[in-house]
């Protein structure tokens, strides 16, 4: 691998040389004799193609197991882990259905349980915070305030309207009580 040090810099392949850019620098190397056709058909790449077929099966199995994880707790690292475990189990010679069952039992169920636990904790934290801030400070810690009417104390003029509304409600309720009892007696 040789460095390109002077401009003009090239990227691409020309005759037997390949020019490319890596980490912000320009390099030159010999053109590779590999092609996609050769890798797929040549006997010396049989092991590579076998690994590729195993990986394609593993990714399908990992995807099926990943789909069973609830959407709110899915992370890409879970998919990668499930695919890697499926790859190992396929190399041991296990069947697809058995692999999916093992992945669900060993990885998906604990992930679900942990996510539900975390979700419940977060919900309880939010609920405590909401309940704590729901009441004003003077009503916290189970304190109760009662309004006491006292005729001995002088009533300020600003509260006269409030007492007038209370008196009107009391009169209306008394009329309703006597009106219903009077109708029942007749």
- Structure token digits, residue 57: 């099966």
Dist CA 32 CA 161 (whole Å): 96
Q: What's the confidence (pLDDT) of residue 186?
A: 46
- Structure token digits, residue 30: 């010999």
Q: What is the pLDDT of residues 51-86, one digit of tens each?
A: 999 999 999 999 999 999 888 888 899 999 999 999
3-state secondary structure of 29: strand
Q: Cis ω on the peptide bond leading into residue 8 (within 30° of 0)?
A: yes
**Lowest-confidence range among 10-19, 62-71, 79-88, 135-144?**
135-144
- Structure token digits, residue 169: 């409600």
The DSSP string of 92-160 is TT--HHHHHHHHIIIIIHHHHHHHHHHHHHHHHHHHHHHHHHHS-GGG-TT--------SSSPPPGGGH
Please check whether residue 86 is in contact with residue 99, taking contact to mean a CB–CB distance below 8 angstroms. Answer: yes
Evaluate if residue 105 carries a pLDDT over 50: yes
Q: 1-40: buried (b, 16+ CB within 10 Å) or exposed (e) per residue?
A: eeebeeeeeeeeeeeeebeeeeeeebbeeeeeeeeeeeee
Q: Cis ω on the peptide bond leading into residue 135 (within 30° of 0)?
A: no
Q: Residue range 95-105: average pLDDT?
A: 92
Residue whose entry in the numeric block shows the structure tokens 């400070």: 137
Q: What percent of the chain has pLDDT over 90?
A: 31
Most confident range, picked from 47-56, 148-157, 166-175: 47-56
Q: What is the pLDDT of residues 31-42, one digit of tens each?
A: 888 888 888 888
């Amino acid at each position: 691998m040789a460095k390109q040090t002077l401009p003009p810099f090239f990227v691409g392949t020309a005759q037997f040389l390949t020019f490319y850019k890596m980490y912000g620098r320009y390099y030159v190397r010999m053109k590779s004799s590999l092609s996609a056709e050769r890798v797929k058909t040549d006997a010396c790449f049989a092991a590579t193609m076998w690994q590729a077929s195993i990986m394609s099966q593993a990714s399908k199995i990992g995807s099926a197991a990943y789909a069973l994880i609830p959407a709110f707790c899915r992370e890409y690292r879970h998919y990668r882990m499930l695919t890697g475990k499926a790859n190992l189990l396929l190399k041991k010679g296990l069947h697809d259905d058995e692999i999916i069952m093992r992945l669900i039992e060993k990885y998906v169920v604990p992930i679900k349980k942990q996510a539900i636990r975390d979700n419940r904790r977060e919900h309880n934290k939010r609920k405590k915070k909401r309940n704590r801030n729901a009441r004003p400070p003077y009503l916290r810690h189970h304190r109760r305030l009662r309004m006491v009417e006292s005729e001995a104390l002088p009533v300020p003029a600003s509260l006269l309207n409030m007492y007038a509304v209370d008196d009107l409600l009391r009169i209306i309720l008394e009329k309703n009580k006597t009106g219903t009892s009077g109708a029942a007696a007749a």
